[in-house]
Every structure is written in C-alpha cells, then in structure tokens.
C-alpha cells in the first residue's frame, strides 16, 4: 500500500509518497506566498495551502497505482490561527507562528493572568507565536471578524477539514495553542474563558495516528482516489519530524534545522521545567515531549546567502571554512525575535566582533555557529532538569550541510545520527498514515522498522573545548543587548 505525508511548511507544502516498507517513491513541492503586511507580522492565505496541496497530490500520484493509496496524514507548521465563519469561509489570512504582533496580549497573559496560572492550565506560558494571544489580538483589534468565528483551527487541520469534512486537530499541534491542558489532554476551560471562545469553536481532539475520516466524495473524484482513503490526524511539524527521525519513546532527541530550529526531547512521562523556557507538549506517539524552539535557524543562512551575499551556492560558500572554534565573529540568530529560551519578540539579529581583517567566510561561519549556540541554550535548560542526552538525530534543510552537522556536534557535545531519510515532517506524516491504516501497531513499531541511521558525526574533544569557550562568550551577548532591543520599533 501507499501512504501520503503532507508537510505544510511556511514557504512550501512538500508532499511525500511512501510504500509500506518505508521506501520513498516520490516527493513534490509547491510554493506559496508569505505576506508581511506590517513589520513583525507574518500571514498566509489558507486557500493557497489547499490549492497547492491539491495540485501537489495530483502530481505526486500521477504515475502510481492510485488504488494502492490507503491514507493521508500531515505534519504542519504550528500555532497559526485559522478562522472560519458559519459558511466555512476563511475570515482573514492566517496569522502564523513567526508573527510578532501579540506582545501586548502575551504580556497580559504572562503578567496579569500570571505564568503560574498559565502553566497550571496548559503546562506552558504565553509566547508571541502561540495561538491564544492571536485570538486575544483579534478580539481587541478586529472585533467584527472575531464575532464571525465559527471554527478555530491550525494550519494542517484546515487541510484535513477540506479533505475529510472533519473538524479536528491532534494533541501535539493543539499543545502549541495555549488552549490545551497538555497533561490531561483536554481543552482548558479556564483558557477558553480567558480568550472568549467556546468548546464548540474548537476542533475535536485526536491522537496523531488516529483516523479522523475518509476523503469526501468530490475530493476523491477530483484526485482520482477511492473515497475509502483514510485521513489521519497528523501532528505539528516538530512532532511529525520526530516521528520521521525515530525520536519516539523515552529520552530520545532530535534537532531540526528548518526555517525555525528546534531541539526535541521525547518522554514517556509528563514534565515541565520550572521557568517554562522549554515547551511541554504532547507527542505524536501518544506520550509527551519537551521542546526548545528558535524562530530563525536555516532561515538565517538563507537570508545571509540570498539577501546579503546574493548567491544560491550555499555549499560553495562553506568550502573555505576550516578554522572551527576559532571565529572572533558572533551572530545572534534573532531575525524574527526569539522564543526559547528568551521569549523576546523584540530581540534582533546582530553581528558582533568584526574587525578590518574579518572575512566573508568568518561571517558565514558565524551564522552557522550562531544557530548552533542558540539551540545549545535550550539544551542547557534540558540538562538543568537532569536530562542526560548523549546523541541526537538531525533533520531539516540545514542538515544537508556536512559542515553545519559538524558544528552542531561539537557545540552541543553530542553524537549526531544522520538518518537515511532527512524528510522529517513529510516522512513522519506518511508513517502516521501507515499506523492509522493498520500497517503498524504503533508509532514506536513504525519508527523501529522504518528509520535507519546511516552515519554518525562524532564530536571532537579539542573542538568541543574550543566551542565551550566560544559558547560562554555567546551567552553574554543577548543579556548585554536586551535593553537596546526593547527600544527598537
């Protein structure tokens, strides 16, 4: 049988066709626009996600035996606010995960409602990218639109709704809304009251591997698929990527170098760090995870290459970088503000330490190292909880760079396991579809059988020592500049 994984990203939807043994048969990518109507705002049209996903699915299955397609599932960008009216029309463009307009609402939640209360209700505190602050912003700034809301959903769930007609979400994605009681896996009555929404406006909750419905008849006809094709709930992109890299069960770790960067630690038990610097979320395997998320990771390198150096020769730009651990240039990777562990939408990207002899290679190296140092900040929080991590999987576009993987291994002092498929969320979505269709009994079984490690990047003791000294310098930069950032528009 064949399974489709839909990775609904920020710049494109990537669709993956997988057979029952985990073999990737075809990958298709379709781009759509990202809109910045005001500085710090970030929006997309859900209609674009749907139209591009439909075109992508048609292309994906154009050469296969369509009768073999059994299920479709998702890994989707998290936290985005999608709102529909009583006619199921989109009320306004989706407000995305990297949108920073909700500082006032985030401060209200953290300071007036209180971080302790929020953590009690949801296991998390408010971050500007989360969904609940966006709902409060909409209530305050667009009351007419707010009053039209019949359904509130997350980006991937809009696709599931359009394909199946089922108003649904999964626990992993819902964890990032600040509306879910993560520990008890139900909507928080207190948070619904604070946000002025009802349970009827929120989707039905499912485990990521559960079937939510089948293809609607008209959709099945348009795609040339059976209406018996199952739609499986899917997961937030980071949880889906973790499934795709086999980061399930207890004490496993995955680093994602995508548009955003994450360090993801799976656990069979629920836990929260005392400062809520890490997110405490439900996992797609039915258990839990801790996650540190930085808003700009591979996007920092893309910005540096595309916008500043004006080149697409990413690997060529890295060829001259040989003096690891010796760079005097530092880069703060806060192009869109920062989430973990600083929770500061006003933070900005900064180069520091340049001199007259600073080279192009050193600037490029600083970007790669700055992202690694930013991820290390979250790893240090996990270590402070007594969590012992010795190795990690890695995925995302940045993981295609051998140099970046080497930097990650030595900055983190972790063994970095490279897996056969670096397709993260799309592969994880296809695996969840296979579990939902009964191909595997559990997410753990699918991960054990399908995910294969093909290489390991080992840290080097001398480099680890050099990077330890550099990291200690790096961590002094943000606190020194924090007050300056607060004065920027």
Nearest CA among 47, 430, 64, 69 for reference residue 227 = 69
For 290-314, give one letter per residue: b (16+ CB within 10 A) or e: bbbbbbbbbbbbbbbbeeeeeeeeb
Q: Is the peptide bond before 341 cis (omega within 30 degrees of 0)?
A: yes
Helix 402-412 to helix 360-384 angle (10° resolution) is 40
Does 279 belong to an annotated binding site? no
Tokens standing for residue 13? 């939807």
> What 3-state class would DSSP assign to 110?
helix
The β-bridge partners of 344 are 338
Tokens standing for residue 401? 């760079």
Tokens standing for residue 405? 């993987």
Nearest CA among 52, 47, 45 for reference residue 15 = 52
Identify whether 250 is a catalytic site residue: no
Output the furthest CA–CA distance in the chain (Å, rounded): 66
Look at the alpha carbons of 280, 185, 81, 116 in this order and tell me if their dihedral is positive or negative: negative
Q: Are strands 94-95 and 43-44 parallel, antiparallel or unpaired?
A: antiparallel
> Using only C-alpha atoms, what is the Rg of the chain?
21
Nearest CA among 250, 223, 236, 209 for reference residue 153 = 236
The secondary structure of residue 203, as a DSSP letter, is P
Q: From its phi and psi, is residue 325 left (phi > 0), alpha (psi between -120 and 50) or beta?
A: left
Look at the alpha carbons of 378, 380, 381, 382 in this order and tell me if their dihedral is positive or negative: positive
**4 Cβ contact list (under 8 Å, min separation 6):** 15, 16, 17, 18, 57, 60, 61, 69, 71, 72, 73, 429, 430, 433
Does 79 belong to an annotated binding site? yes
- Which residue in the list 7, 99, 157, 237 is annotated as catalytic? 237
Q: Per the annotation, where are the binding residues?
A: 78-79
Q: Per the annotation, where are the binding residues for substrate?
A: 78-79
Residues marked as catalytic: 237
């Amino acid at each position: 049988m064949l399974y489709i994984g839909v990775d609904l990203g920020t710049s494109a939807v990537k669709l993956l066709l997988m057979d029952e043994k985990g073999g990737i048969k075809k990958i298709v990518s379709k781009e759509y626009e990202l809109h910045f109507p005001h500085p710090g705002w970030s929006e997309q049209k859900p209609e674009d996600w749907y139209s591009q996903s439909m075109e992508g699915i048609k292309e994906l299955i154009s050469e296969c035996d369509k009768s073999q397609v059994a299920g479709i599932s998702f890994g989707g960008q998290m936290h985005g606010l999608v709102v529909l009216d009583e006619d199921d029309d989109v009320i306004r463009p989706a407000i995305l995960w990297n949108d920073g307009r909700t500082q006032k609402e985030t401060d209200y939640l953290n300071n007036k409602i209180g971080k302790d209360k929020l953590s009690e209700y949801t296991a998390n505190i408010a971050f500007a990218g989360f969904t609940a602050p966006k709902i409060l912003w909409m209530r305050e700034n667009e009351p007419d639109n707010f009053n039209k809301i019949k359904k509130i959903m997350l980006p991937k769930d809009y696709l599931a709704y359009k394909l199946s007609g089922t108003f649904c979400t999964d626990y992993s994605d819902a964890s990032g809304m600040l509306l879910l009681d993560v520990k008890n896996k139900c909507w928080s009555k207190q948070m619904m009251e604070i946000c002025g929404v009802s349970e009827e406006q929120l989707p039905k909750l499912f485990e990521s591997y559960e079937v939510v419905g089948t293809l609607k008849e008209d959709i099945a006809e348009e795609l040339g698929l059976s209406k018996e094709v199952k739609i499986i709930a899917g997961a937030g992109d980071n949880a889906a990527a973790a499934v795709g890299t086999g980061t399930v069960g207890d004490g496993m770790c995955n680093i994602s170098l995508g548009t955003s960067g994450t360090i993801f630690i799976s656990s069979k038990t629920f836990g929260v760090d005392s400062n809520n610097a890490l997110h405490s979320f439900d996992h797609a395997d039915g258990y839990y995870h801790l996650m540190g998320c930085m808003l700009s990771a591979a996007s920092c390198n893309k910005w540096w290459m595309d916008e500043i150096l004006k080149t697409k020769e990413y690997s060529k730009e890295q060829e001259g970088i040989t003096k690891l651990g010796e760079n005097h240039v530092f880069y703060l990777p806060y192009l869109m503000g920062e989430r973990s562990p600083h929770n500061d939408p006003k933070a900005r990207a900064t180069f520091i330490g340049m001199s007259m002899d600073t080279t192009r290679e050193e600037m490029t190296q600083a970007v790669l190292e700055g992202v690694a140092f930013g991820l290390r900040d979250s790893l240090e929080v996990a270590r402070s909880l007594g969590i012992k991590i010795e190795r990690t999987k890695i995925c995302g576009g940045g993981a295609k760079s051998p140099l970046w993987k080497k930097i990650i291994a030595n900055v983190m002092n972790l063994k970095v396991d490279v897996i056969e498929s670096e397709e993260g969320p799309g592969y994880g979505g296809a695996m969840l579809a296979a579990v939902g269709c009964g191909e595997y009994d559990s997410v753990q079984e699918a991960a054990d059988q399908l995910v294969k490690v093909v290489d390991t990047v080992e840290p080097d003791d001398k480099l680890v020592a050099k990077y330890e000294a550099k990291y200690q310098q790096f961590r002094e930069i943000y606190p020194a500049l924090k007050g300056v950032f607060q004065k920027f528009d």
